[in-house]
């Protein structure tokens, strides 16, 4: 009515005048609405445009103009009120207007632009990609139709750019973003400085530059965005209708730069601009809700940096005001609900008020109810609701919350939306969360499947590719931790590396990518001890730290991570500079972090641990005092119910124990006990941390009784029973060693400490040794590879098996001594035959066998994950997950026990993973006595194992470990120091001295015992030496005096790495004896090894092969492999198919990696590990005419890891090898005499020892010196 009254006052002469007046008045009202925001003006404008349109029937020349004017005003009202009927009407009107104009019409481009704007608005509300594509098509048409000099051309180019941005956001095609930036750049250039729309184009250009920065991370885009925003703001003074928008856009860009560069000036300036924008907007102004929302978000950002709760409370109040200003039906109301919900979640995390969490969930639900499924933010609201429900589940334990969250995500995967990788990524995250809560492997498997689908659907330039790869890697890491799958860990690292490749230097996500990769490399280092992983983790951590200048929010966590890695590197290399740097970083963290920072207790603990390590290394008491101080501070900062308190109490107790050792203040002992028993009482039975409590209590009780035992005058300080105290110490050692939820590696270390204490103080030493060897066996069984198992043995105290046997001997248990030696020695070889081979055989025993083998392997890997259940800095939110992991561990342990029991019930698997009883081992002496020569710190003894009866003990009282080591050193020196021409006699005298010492100290007492046992002269005997005896020629010992017989004249010696190895050799003999195939002999000779070997040419190998060939009986097939044909692969292939082998070449003993010991072939080395893994068809006999083929690793002498042993364990029942270097010029003499005697009575490999004995005694002593006569030894049957 008001509009009609206005028009009635005008002089209206005709319909055209009425149309003009309606149109002019409506345009004026629309302009006044844009200036003042009075909705009455907007309503009157719409009435006027409707009146104008009513005056234009179809065919009227002004109809299209009226339709367009009314459509534009309806679009404005839609943007204010959210009534979709306005939007649909606007599109219909614009389409009619366009249809009524031909392409050549002067207003045709404007109609295209107007229709495109309306279609774009509908897309933004409904998400229909057809609307967006059509809008872009019309915008492109309008751009082509308007000449560049036309004043509207820049605006339409800007509209086209805006629509391209929308499509980029929907589909992630970077070309759309790139094209949009180009369109904006052209539009700004076409606009003169005084152009009224230049500032708007600069704002839009700045916004799209910000988008590209978020994708590619080029800081130049961010800086240029801010420059354009500032330029736009300058031409929009106070009172300008768009000044508020400019201030908000500039402020948003400043917030983004603050987030990347950490300059607080940017954040403060942004907040000032937001406050100014809010102050400029009066109540009822259409931009006030947006200004309030932006100010709230900036305050939330400052809260996250500075922790001022006033900022958080103010932000929530502002967001509540925004919600009030957007009534029901407003298109922005769902977003307001979502923003308010997020801020309430933040306050809940800060203060823990459950009402905030409940309110947040309700607001997320309200947002979802207001959004149709096709709303662009519908999925985001679902994801946020799911996350909030998960948080409430963690707090209250109502599993329906987590299930509802997952159900929300599953409903998003409708058939029409499956091509969206984000949906699969989101549900993958939720399922991964539920796996971490409940431990259901199916959830983890589904999670990984969804992450894979997300990656499959993701284009190489998708803006979320980085997140998808990182999430997938995180799930794979969980799979590795939970199932012991190292392949998953390796794949996770690959994907973290791919994610890093997507973040070149300068990219905003490069820090987080470096941080993630460094952490997972540290995880793999903890599992595999590969120092390269640790070094790479440190390198990535250093780069990440460089991206965080002082004051940056991520700097504390970055410094802490680097310090942790440096501490680990110190533990490996003992370079104090690494530990000093770690301490410096941690001190900086604590100096700069706020007192109330949630990670401060963790950082205090890390620093305490570093000081404690430095004290242990340098014994500076000041470091120990600092460690105790920081441990106490960390404990004080943890509330009484915090799950990390028990381990902190253990660490304090250990530090106090160390201080007592320094200062002898008895109060430290008593306080340490109080801490330990408080920790023990706070943990339920079965809790993994109890292992550490038991370990610490064992050490504390040991320290206690040692103190009063050595210093009786101190007993008045505490009336204790020393025997009871000792009993308590050993009891807790046993508890630690047998604690089921601790890793085998940890328990193994505890057993070693138990042994040391028991041997020193007297007590349960034998039980400690038994436990240690069982754990060593189990840990070697679960090793990831043979080489890794060997590394484990190097970490284990040397001579552990010999010491165990000595302990049993001292208790009069000779048969137990044999069992312990067998269990502890040749562990790696034992695994090859008692672990891997039975599993292979198990797989061949039908479906049940294959199932048991698979289950055993899977469960063993899962149970071996060190410390996956133990996190010192657990927070409340993961306590339920921790408890669930404990329950899952127990279930798996029970499964493992059940599987092992089922395997042992099968025929042939009775002793699976158990020490072989003496009654079984005694079978090794079936063909002659086996003599075990044992040397340890505690005693030196020999044990003769006979075919029947108890083993015979022969004490060697005049022998000590030092004497044996000295003899071994002197023998090695005699072989190396006097080898020049004409010095043979000097060398022979030195060698003879050692052989006489061996005779007097070891062999002669044994010969006397053999004679008393009526072992016939000339019988075969087998030597099973331990420790340094493995490098001494026991077979050649003797008085070496005229008229007296040496051992070779009395008995025929062979060697065996273990009793089990000898038994297996004989079992293979029985199996091979039934074969009807013709025996085949292969002679492999390589005089000129591969270039990198740097070995000299062997001049006599041709002569040697001719000799061998001459002795091969006609009943045996003979072939040769020499010269260019003598490659590693050809040699290995012939080893597989020939039962009889002679190798004449250089041999290399690799002391650092014994499994890489090798024979030098023409192209590359033939490694021991290759021979071990080869599947030999019918191996019978091998003669290794090469250097050091029977010399083992000095670091693990109990593990007979040399080439000859490798041949025997690969299947050859009888092997001749060498203990030291062979002289190429004389070796053929020994070879000739050996084969002459060997084939005298046909093809029988069991005659090799006798043939070798005869060869050494009959060869011309003037042609072959003593060291070359005794260099060859026989191993096996």
pLDDT digit string, tens, across residues 1107-1156: 999 999 998 999 999 888 888 999 999 998 999 999 998 888 776 666 77
Same domain, 833 and 905: yes
| Radius of gyration in angstroms for the set of CA atoms belonging to the chain, rounded to a whole number | 42
Same domain, 770 and 720: no
Mean pLDDT across 305-319: 88
Residue of 1266 and 105 predicted with greater confidence: 1266
Mean pLDDT across 746-757: 89
The C-alpha torsion from 1070 through 1074 and 1077 to 1083, rounded to 10°, is 10
Mean pLDDT across 457-468: 82
Distances (CA, A) of 867 to 291, 387, 527, 642, 864: 50, 28, 10, 19, 9
Tokens describing residue 837: 């081979």
Tokens describing residue 2: 């008001």
Mean pLDDT across 61-75: 91
Same domain, 672 and 734: yes
3-state secondary structure string, 94-120? HHHHHHCCCCCCCCHHHHHHHHHHHHH
DSSP for residue 826: T
pLDDT at 886: 57
Residue 215 within a domain: no
Phi and psi at residue 945, in whole multiples of 5°? -95, 120
Summarised one tens digit per residue, pLDDT across range 494-522 is 988 988 988 888 887 888 899 999 999 99
Same domain, 4 and 129: yes
Q: How confident is the model at residue 817 (pLDDT cuts 50, 70, 90)?
A: very high
- Given 1008, 1023, 1055, which residue is the final one in a domain? 1055
Task: Describe the chain by its helix, strand, coil percentages, rounded to 5.
Answer: 70, 5, 25
Among 621-630, 1077-1086, 1114-1123, the range with the most confident prediction by mean pLDDT is: 621-630
pLDDT at 809: 95
DSSP for residue 935: E
Q: Is the pLDDT of residue 227 over 50?
A: yes
Residue 978 within a domain: yes
pLDDT at 308: 85
pLDDT at 806: 94
Residue 451 within a domain: no
Q: What is the overall mean pLDDT for the chain?
A: 84
Alpha-carbon 411 to chain mean position: 33
Mean pLDDT across 588-614: 90
Phi and psi at residue 931, in whole multiples of 5°? -110, 115
Angle of CA points 1065, 1047, 1256, to nearest 5°: 75
Query: How many domains is the chain partitioned into structurally?
Result: 5
Strands 1214-1218 and 1147-1148: unpaired
Judge contact between 938 and 803, C-beta under 8 A. yes
Same domain, 951 and 1046: yes
DSSP for residue 1097: P
Tokens describing residue 886: 């404990």
Residue 381 within a domain: no
Q: How confident is the model at residue 745 (pLDDT cuts 50, 70, 90)?
A: confident
Judge contact between 221 and 209, C-beta under 8 A. yes
pLDDT at 981: 57
Residue 670 within a domain: yes
- Given 145, 166, 198, which residue is the final one in a domain? 145
Q: Is the pLDDT of residue 560 over 80?
A: yes
Query: Number of C-alpha atoms within 13 angstroms, CB side, residue 1231?
Result: 31
- Given 1008, 1025, 1055, which residue is the final one in a domain? 1055
Same domain, 1094 and 1219: yes
Residue 940 within a domain: yes
Query: Mean pLDDT lowest for which of 189-193, 462-466, 797-801, 1067-1071?
Result: 1067-1071
Q: Is the pLDDT of residue 290 over 90?
A: no
Residue 628 within a domain: no
**Computed from CA positions of residues 1270, 1274, 1275, 1277, in that sequence, does the dihedral angle turn out positive or negative?**
negative
Same domain, 1129 and 1214: yes
Rounded-to-integer distance, Cα 212 and Cα 215, Å = 5
pLDDT at 792: 56
Rounded-to-integer distance, Cα 88 and Cα 78, Å = 10
Same domain, 875 and 950: no
Ramachandran category for residue 152: left, alpha or beta (phi over 0 → left; psi -120 to 50 → alpha): alpha
| CA neighbor of 604 nearest in space, from 644, 573, 544 | 644
Rounded-to-integer distance, Cα 39 and Cα 45, Å = 10
Residue of 1185 and 856 predicted with greater confidence: 1185
Rounded-to-integer distance, Cα 262 and Cα 248, Å = 20
**CATH code of residue 1183:** 3.40.50.1460
Same domain, 1124 and 1232: yes
Same domain, 1014 and 960: yes
Q: Could you list the residue range(s) of the whole structural domain that residue 45 is in?
A: 1-9+37-145
Residue of 561 and 1174 predicted with greater confidence: 561
* 248: enclosing H helix or E strand: helix 243-261
Rounded-to-integer distance, Cα 595 and Cα 307, Å = 11
Residue 235 within a domain: no
Same domain, 934 and 902: no
Q: Is the pLDDT of residue 876 over 50?
A: no
Same domain, 1138 and 1175: yes
């Amino acid at each position: 009515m008001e509009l009609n009254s206005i028009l009635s006052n005008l002089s209206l002469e005709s319909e055209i005048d009425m149309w003009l007046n309606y149109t002019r008045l409506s345009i004026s009202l629309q302009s006044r609405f844009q200036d003042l925001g009075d909705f009455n003006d907007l309503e009157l404008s719409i009435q006027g445009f409707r009146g104008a349109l009513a005056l234009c029937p179809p065919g009227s020349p002004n109809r299209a103009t009226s339709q367009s004017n009314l459509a534009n005003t309806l679009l404005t009202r839609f943007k204010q009120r959210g009534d979709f009927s306005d939007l649909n009407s606007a599109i219909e009107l614009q389409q009619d207007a366009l249809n009524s104009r031909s392409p050549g019409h002067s207003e045709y481009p404007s109609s295209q632009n107007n229709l495109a704007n309306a279609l774009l608005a509908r897309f933004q509300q409904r998400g229909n990609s057809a609307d967006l594509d059509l809008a872009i098509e019309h915008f492109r048409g309008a751009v082509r139709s308007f000449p560049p000099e036309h004043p509207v051309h820049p605006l339409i180019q800007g509209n086209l750019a805006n629509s391209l941005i929308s499509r980029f956001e929907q589909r992630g095609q970077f070309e759309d973003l790139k094209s949009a930036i180009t369109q904006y750049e052209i539009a700004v250039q076409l606009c003169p400085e005084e152009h009224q729309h230049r500032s708007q184009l600069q704002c839009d250009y700045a916004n799209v530059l910000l988008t590209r920065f978020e994708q590619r991370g080029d800081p130049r885009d961010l800086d240029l965005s801010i420059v354009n925003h500032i330029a736009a703001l300058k031409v929009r003074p106070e009172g300008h209708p768009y000044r508020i928008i400019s201030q908000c856009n500039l402020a948003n860009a400043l917030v983004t730069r603050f987030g990347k560069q950490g300059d607080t000036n940017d954040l403060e300036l942004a907040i000032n601009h937001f406050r100014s924008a809010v102050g400029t907007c009066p109540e009822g102004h259409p931009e006030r809700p947006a200004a309030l929302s932006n100010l709230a978000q900036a305050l939330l950002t400052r809260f996250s940096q500075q922790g001022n709760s006033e900022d958080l409370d103010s932000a929530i109040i502002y967001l509540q005001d925004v919600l009030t200003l957007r009534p029901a039906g407003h298109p922005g109301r769902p977003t307001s609900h979502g923003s308010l919900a997020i801020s309430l979640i933040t306050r809940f995390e800060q203060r823990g008020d459950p009402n905030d969490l409940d309110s947040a969930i309700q607001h997320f639900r309200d947002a979802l109810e207001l959004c149709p499924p096709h709303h662009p933010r519908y999925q985001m609201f679902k994801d946020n609701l799911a996350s909030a429900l998960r948080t409430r589940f963690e707090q209250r334990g109502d599993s329906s919350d987590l299930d509802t969250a997952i159900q929300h995500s599953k409903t998003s995967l409708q058939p029409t939306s499956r091509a969206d990788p984000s949906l699969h990524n989101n549900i993958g995250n939720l399922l991964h969360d539920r796996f971490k809560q409940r431990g259901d492997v199916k959830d983890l498997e589904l999670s990984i499947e969804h992450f894979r689908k997300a990656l499959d659907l993701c284009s190489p330039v998708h803006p979320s590719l980085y997140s998808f790869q990182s999430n997938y890697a995180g799930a794979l890491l969980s799979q590795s931790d939970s199932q012991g799958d190292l392949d998953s860990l390796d794949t996770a690292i690959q994907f973290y590396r791919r994610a890093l490749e997507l973040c070149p230097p300068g990219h905003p996500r490069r820090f987080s990518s470096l941080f993630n990769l460094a952490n997972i490399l540290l995880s793999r280092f903890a599992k595999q001890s590969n120092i390269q992983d640790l070094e790479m983790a440190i390198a990535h951590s250093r780069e990440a730290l460089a991206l965080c200048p002082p004051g940056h929010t991520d700097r504390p966590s970055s410094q802490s991570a680097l310090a942790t890695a440096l501490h680990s590197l110190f533990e490996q290399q003992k370079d104090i500079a690494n530990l000093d740097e770690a301490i410096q970083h941690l001190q900086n963290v604590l100096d700069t972090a706020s007192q109330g920072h949630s990670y401060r207790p963790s950082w205090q603990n890390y620093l305490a641990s570093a000081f404690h390590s430095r004290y242990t290394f340098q014994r500076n008491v000041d470091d120990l005092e600092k460690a105790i101080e920081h441990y106490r501070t960390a404990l004080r900062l943890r509330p009484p119910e915090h799950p990390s308190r028990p381990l902190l109490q253990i660490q304090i107790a250990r530090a106090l124990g160390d201080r007592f050792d320094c200062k002898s203040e008895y109060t430290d002992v008593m306080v340490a006990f109080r801490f330990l028993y408080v920790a023990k009482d706070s943990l339920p039975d079965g809790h993994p941390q109890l292992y550490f409590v038991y370990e610490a209590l064992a050490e504390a009780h040991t320290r206690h009784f040692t103190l009063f035992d050595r210093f009786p005058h101190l007993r008045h300080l505490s009336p204790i029973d020393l025997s009871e105290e000792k009993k308590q110490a050993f009891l807790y050692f046993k508890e630690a060693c047998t604690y089921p939820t601790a890793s085998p590696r940890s328990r193994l270390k505890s057993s070693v400490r138990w042994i040391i204490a028991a041997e020193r103080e007297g007590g349960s030493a034998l039980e400690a040794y038994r436990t240690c060897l069982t754990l060593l066996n189990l840990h070697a069984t679960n090793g990831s590879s043979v080489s890794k198992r060997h590394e484990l043995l190097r970490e284990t105290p040397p001579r552990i098996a010999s010491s165990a046997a000595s302990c049993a001997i001292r208790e009069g248990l000779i048969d137990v001594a044999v069992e312990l030696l067998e269990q502890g020695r040749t562990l790696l070889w034992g695994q090859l035959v008692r672990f891997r081979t039975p599993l292979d055989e198990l797989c061949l025993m039908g479906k049940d066998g294959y199932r048991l083998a698979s289950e055993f392997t899977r469960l063993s890997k899962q149970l071996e994950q060190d410390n996956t259940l133990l996190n010192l800095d657990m927070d409340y939110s993961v306590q339920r997950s921790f408890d669930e992991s404990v329950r899952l561990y127990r279930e798996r342990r029970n499964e493992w026990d059940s599987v092992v029991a089922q395997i042992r019930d099968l025929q042939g698997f009775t002793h699976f993973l158990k020490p072989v009883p003496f009654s079984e081992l005694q079978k090794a002496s079936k063909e002659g006595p086996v003599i075990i020569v044992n040397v340890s710190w505690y005693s030196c003894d020999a044990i003769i194992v006979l075919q029947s009866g108890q083993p015979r003990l022969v004490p060697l009282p005049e022998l000590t470990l030092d004497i044996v080591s000295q003899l071994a050193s002197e023998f090695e020196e005699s072989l190396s120091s006097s080898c020049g021409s004409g010095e043979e006699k000097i060398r022979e005298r030195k060698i003879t001295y050692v052989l006489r010492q061996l005779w007097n100290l070891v062999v002669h007492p044994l010969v006397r015992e053999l004679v008393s046992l009526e072992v016939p002269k000339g019988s075969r005997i087998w030597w099973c030496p331990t420790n340094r005896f493995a490098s001494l020629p026991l077979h050649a010992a003797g008085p070496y005096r005229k008229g007296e017989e040496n051992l070779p004249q009395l008995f025929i010696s062979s060697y065996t790495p273990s009793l089990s190895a000898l038994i297996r050799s004989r079992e293979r003999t029985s199996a091979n004896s039934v074969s009807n195939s013709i025996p085949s002999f292969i002679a492999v000779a390589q005089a000129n090894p591969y270039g990198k070997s740097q070995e000299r040419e062997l001049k006599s190998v041709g002569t040697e092969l001719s000799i061998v060939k001459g002795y091969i009986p006609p009943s045996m097939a003979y072939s040769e492999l020499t010269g260019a044909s003598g490659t590693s692969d050809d040699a290995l292939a012939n080893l597989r198919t020939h039962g009889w082998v002679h190798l004449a070449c250089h041999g290399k003993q690799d002391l650092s990696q014994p499994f890489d010991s090798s024979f030098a072939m023409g192209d590359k080395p033939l490694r021991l590990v290759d021979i071990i893994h080869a599947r030999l068809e019918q191996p019978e006999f091998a003669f290794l005419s090469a250097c050091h083929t029977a010399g083992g690793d000095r670091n693990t002498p109990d593990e007979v890891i040399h080439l000859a042993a490798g041949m025997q364990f690969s299947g050859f029942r009888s092997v001749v090898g060498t203990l030291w270097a062979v002289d190429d010029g004389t070796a053929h003499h020994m070879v000739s005499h050996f084969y002459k005697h060997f084939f005298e009575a046909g093809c029988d490999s069991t005659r090799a020892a006798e043939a070798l004995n005869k060869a050494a005694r009959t060869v011309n002593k003037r042609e072959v010196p003593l060291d070359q006569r005794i260099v060859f030894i026989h191993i096996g049957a």
